[in-house]
Structure 1
């Protein structure tokens, strides 16, 4: 047909798959989608540009004879089942690249300041016990078990943990969408977290689509990765029984860090029953029931089947609570998504005319100068750039 382009069906399906769009969804947007796939017709240039934007895929890819193979830029520590799935989604890759850009900028700032490397990076070895590794991480973070127990609940403990990690020189970013685009959600089935290890500017990213109860374990798990000096993407949760040595080690370190096995064994009351123990131990150590279930398994009080069944029920309960909760504060979410430490450093650098405003807006993933000024005031500036 005149004015139409010939596009490989392989490339079309690849673009749709990585954008997690079904044939039905695309047919609603492009009535001739089935005909494009069959080769009976092709899109116009305008339609192709719209499709590229919808799939968050560069237009040039659609002129290839076959779909390209895009790989993760970091090690993949996900389970074998996860690895059997297709290549990483555009949402995951875009999130990874955004974090790498932020990390690169932040590292450059630290080099200018001749900052000392964070002691957490590479402080542990895979051959060491979970007990020793967890103790080293706690010591470096200066976040003791007694401080954790002093918190009002596990939500406060999570906030204090994130603060301690950032004060130790590790950026923590938590987000459930690509930058601030609520239409591009991160898929929890694809990944839970990743770490970008660097001797000077290590970074942890947590998939905010997970419940906050589960995020605490993910942070501890990624801390274990950083302590080994390893970058990588993970899908581990507190109920994971991993066949990979590195992931199982990080799971054990994370669990030991949050609740020492010795304490669990000393405080478990066999006659009280499982539910009562989970509730009481959670209150005692200020961690979620998900973490307690993992520790009860590690201590030999429950079997793998019970761990998975109870964990699934608790996870469903937390997700329901999340859906019924109120929306969060925009600026608090913005800071959490970009890391408080990173955001403050970037805002201060921009206000001091060391970083161009357009670069700052791009790194933060925002377009509004008013939003930037509000962040500046949040971090202590008397006035914003508009004043």
Structure 2
């Protein structure tokens, strides 16, 4: 039997493993012959190349190109700071954006068919409007004043109720820490924390659920501010370093003011940024201690940026250690997690349209991340959209 081997440009193989974010250890374990393929001393068989493409989530056809394709982030990338180079977007990030764009396109068509009104606050502000003014509008629309938050039992409860309130005013909210339903493909908060896909009929925000619950709340409001600006954006919602992007800086200020109004923190703060004081304020405002530190800096309770940075870095390491100790993960019950990953508003629309005969069941399964009819039916019962 003749074994047919195929020629693949070494740059394409290197592109695929870098795009997948593989470490040297992962490469050695999963593709032990890669070094030989790169050096040209051996060539993969077609079966080997198919397995390689599947493992790296690279379309097989692209591996036969003469050179690696350009894969820019398909929305404005606000993560760039100064001359810092942004690394090639991971396949996990790209697939997440593409999936959300596909769902947004479906929902836009659904909204048009059903005569749903456009969301009137989309693009209603620009960066010349004071963050305080827009923050007041957002808090009022969401019923998210400090008094309203006393009903929240925890950060997680605050996050869930905030999602519901944002969806109620017309914005789809999707929160996931994994790609699709694959729990082995965890999204990295260090690559991105969220993004906004903005258009009047179906504005959508996506939050990286692999981040801490409290940090997700800040990112959620940050992305909502992008909806107010009327601009799609990929964000890292950075609080620990200055931004040279006017829109990103403005959205950070709006989010901070929505969550912790500056006038209130100036009267509420009791002195030193000790852990007990940070946690007290975090519980009061239902935000992370990192947001509290940022607002203390904004209120000029720190002598310098370096002083703030030192406190922030120390608290960040503590928060990360606590999260690791709790074993936070994207696991758990599929039927509890999937409505949050999808957006309840979106899922209910798909289910209703399917039962009305407009959307084929096959398309509904794809949109909702299910493969079997029984899974679909159970999801319907869980969401309460039967």
TM over 0.5: yes
Shift of 1:169: 0.7
Shift of 1:321: 4.5
Within 5 A, what are the aligned runs for 1:183-222? 183-222=184-223
1:366 paired to 2:370? yes
Contact preservation (8 Å) 1:75, 1:232: yes
1:103 paired to 2:104? yes
Contact preservation (8 Å) 2:122, 2:229: yes
1:171 paired to 2:172? yes
Which residue matches 1:282? 282
Per-residue CA deviation, residues 6-59 of structure 1 (Å, 9 max, x unaligned), is 111111000010011234423333332111010111111111111111111111
Q: In 2 relative to 1, CA 381–276 (structure 1 residues): closer, same or farther, beyond 3 Å?
A: closer
Which residue matches 2:65? 64
- SS of the residue corresponding to residue 327 of structure 2 reads helix
- SS of the residue corresponding to residue 80 of structure 1 reads coil
| Total equivalences in the alignment | 381
Cα distance in structure 1, aligned partners of 2:38 and 2:117: 55
Per-residue CA deviation, residues 114-142 of structure 1 (Å, 9 max, x unaligned), is 11112331122111111011112223334
Q: In 2 relative to 1, CA 316–81 (structure 1 residues): closer, same or farther, beyond 3 Å?
A: farther
Shift of 1:188: 1.8
Which residue matches 2:136? 135
Contact preservation (8 Å) 2:210, 2:330: no
Within 5 A, what are the aligned runs for 1:373-384? 373-380=377-384
Contact preservation (8 Å) 1:18, 1:87: yes
Per-residue CA deviation, residues 156-197 of structure 1 (Å, 9 max, x unaligned), is 222211110010111111111110012222122211100000
Q: In 2 relative to 1, CA 46–19 (structure 1 residues): closer, same or farther, beyond 3 Å?
A: same
Unaligned runs of 5+ in 2: none
1:335 paired to 2:335? no
Shift of 1:324: 6.0
Per-residue CA deviation, residues 218-268 of structure 1 (Å, 9 max, x unaligned), is 001101111100101011234343222111111110000001000000111
Shift of 1:325: 7.6
Which residue matches 1:319? 323
Per-residue CA deviation, residues 65-85 of structure 1 (Å, 9 max, x unaligned), is 211111111000003389624
Cα distance in structure 2, aligned partners of 1:165 and 1:239: 26
Shift of 1:210: 0.5
Q: Which runs of 4+ in 1 moved over 6 A?
A: none
Contact preservation (8 Å) 1:347, 1:375: no
Cα distance in structure 2, aligned partners of 1:300 and 1:108: 48
Cα distance in structure 2, aligned partners of 1:254 and 1:326: 25
Which residue matches 2:294? 294
- SS of the residue corresponding to residue 127 of structure 2 reads coil
Unaligned runs of 5+ in 1: 383-387
Cα distance in structure 1, aligned partners of 2:3 and 2:330: 52
Cα distance in structure 2, aligned partners of 1:241 and 1:201: 31
Contact preservation (8 Å) 1:9, 1:37: yes
Cα distance in structure 2, aligned partners of 1:81 and 1:212: 29
Higher alpha-carbon deviation: 332-341 or 73-82:
73-82
RMSD, aligned α-carbons: 2.1
Per-residue CA deviation, residues 251-309 of structure 1 (Å, 9 max, x unaligned), is 11000000100000011122x65334312222322222222111111111124323422
Shift of 1:318: 4.0
Question: TM-score, normalized by length of structure 1?
Answer: 0.92
- SS of the residue corresponding to residue 91 of structure 1 reads helix
- SS of the residue corresponding to residue 269 of structure 1 reads coil
